[in-house]
Amino acid sequence: MTATATNSCGTTDCSFTVTVNDTEKPVLSAHADVPRTNDAGQCGAAVSFTLPTATDNCPGAGAVTSSPVSGSVFPVGTTAVICTVTDAHGNTQTSTFNVIVTDTERPVLSAHADIAKNNDPASVRPW
């Protein structure tokens, strides 16, 4: 950039550099919690989900990643999924949603053989 100053003594020019830095973090869309029931016979569930979308004030919003990743097996209970995006200028944003796996499977009882036992004669008391 060149600046010019003029007064009664004359004109002077000088030049300098203007640097604009992108310090604004990208924005991740909101993501609702993901409820699931357990997979049959398992104490968890393989859960797939769509990642949130990212926007940025400058071109170059990177790919959104998550940990754990979509398709992972989540245990019964609540697991936080952390989503991350980094833009072309190194600004990073994270967001979190929960995968909630509920165990809805009834327990299975195995059949047990009948038990037959004679009483102990010493324990019989005449009344």
77-121 pLDDT tens trace: 999 999 999 999 999 999 999 999 999 998 888 888 888 777 766
* Span 4-28, pLDDT tens digits: 888 888 788 888 898 888 899 999 9
Contact 98, 79 (CB under 8 A): yes
Residues 32/51, Cβ–Cβ less than 8 Å: no
For the entire predicted model, the pTM comes to 0.74
Q: Which CATH number fits domain 19-105: 3.40.50.300, 2.60.40.10, 3.30.70.100, 1.10.579.10?
A: 2.60.40.10
**Could you tell me the residue ranges of all domains in the chain?**
19-105
Residue pair 29/97 in contact (Cβ under 8 Å)? The answer is no
